[in-house]
Amino acid sequence: MPRVMISPPLLYKKPGPYSERLEAAGFEVVYPDSPGFTQQTSEADLVAAFQGISATLASGELYSPSLLEACPDLRVVSRVGVGYDQVNVPACTERKIAVSITPNANHECVAEHAFALMLDIARTVTQTDREMRSGQWKPHIMQNVRERTLGIIGLGRIGRSMAIRARAFRMNVIAAEQFPNAEFNAEHNIEIVSLDELLKRSDVISVHAPLTEETRGLINKETIAKMKPGVFFVNTARGGLVVEADLIPALESGHIAAAGLDVFEEEPTPADNPLLKLDNVVALPHIGGVDEKSLRDMADEAAANIVAMSKGTWPPTAIVNEADIRETWKWS
């Protein structure tokens, strides 16, 4: 019986539709030794855990070339989410391992989270709460988001969901996107602009781009200098998109008025990260893609991808390296 490892901590030994789907398809569902598996496990321990595993519902563990080479039974790495920067896709392709994502499950969840962070920093919700709890009664002049310009970097599923919410709040929306959806943009009155123009015009910037070699460090000293003074900044995408050493002085000087950060260059971010000491930063531990509904939907979609692949069916838009392995990939 082929075995599937369920590694996300929030799914640890919590059977649900995803495990029922796998078991009905003839898979044995197994879990790591502990819920902290993805963050605390060495590569040697990962190798040991993945022996005899045909597929994984993958979390944040690192799928390195050496790990993949040491796990010859692995056929599918099915990410519970849309980001796959912890998976060495070229190494998977070389070993004919399919890498899948869940593109249909959590885009609205992330957009809600990004919007919540935007409202929080504009309305000084967390900052004022901290002050109240320390005994201060210190009213702030809050900032409106209505009629302000939101610049969205990356107008994929999540960016489009963010745009819809922003338009409902009567925000002007501009976006930098390499492959724009003309029909969507016309329907929702979204203006596509260059990155430089977005940085110059936006009152709020929300990042929704994937982390690639081209986008790594996209928000840096040079791009920050092009931003409008007093801009609000939100990142719920990937920490590697931002050079934190350049973001910190911009927040300290007020050039960036406040930031809502769900992701960091290093995760978990160290307790002494200077960003955590700034009053104008709201920091959260990379939770933007997970609410009760999205977790259930992502896990089920990830499981469905594995079942489909085991039956020789390719889930549409879900297999990252489909073009490179489809003709030669086999389950066994």
Catalytic residue among 79, 108, 238, 301: 238
Read off the pLDDT of residues 19-73 as tens digits, 9 standing for 90 and up: 999 999 999 999 998 887 777 678 999 999 999 999 999 998 999 999 999 999 9
Catalytic residue among 267, 296, 326, 327: 267
What pLDDT is recorded for position 41? 73
Given a cut of 70, the residues of the chain with pLDDT beneath it are 40
Read off the pLDDT of residues 61-107 as tens digits, 9 standing for 90 and up: 999 999 999 999 999 999 999 889 899 999 999 999 999 999 988 99
Q: What are phi and psi of 158, to 5 degrees?
A: -70, -45
What pLDDT is recorded for position 40? 65
**Residue 267 annotated to the active site:** yes
Task: Provide the CB-side half-sphere exposure for 312 (13 A, CA).
Answer: 3
**Residue 286 annotated to the active site:** yes
What pLDDT is recorded for position 224? 98
What pLDDT is recorded for position 332? 80
Per-residue tokens: 128: 């004022």
**Residue 238 annotated to the active site:** yes
CB-based contact 27:76 (threshold 8 Å): no
What pLDDT is recorded for position 38? 74
Catalytic residue among 21, 113, 286, 301: 286
What pLDDT is recorded for position 232? 98
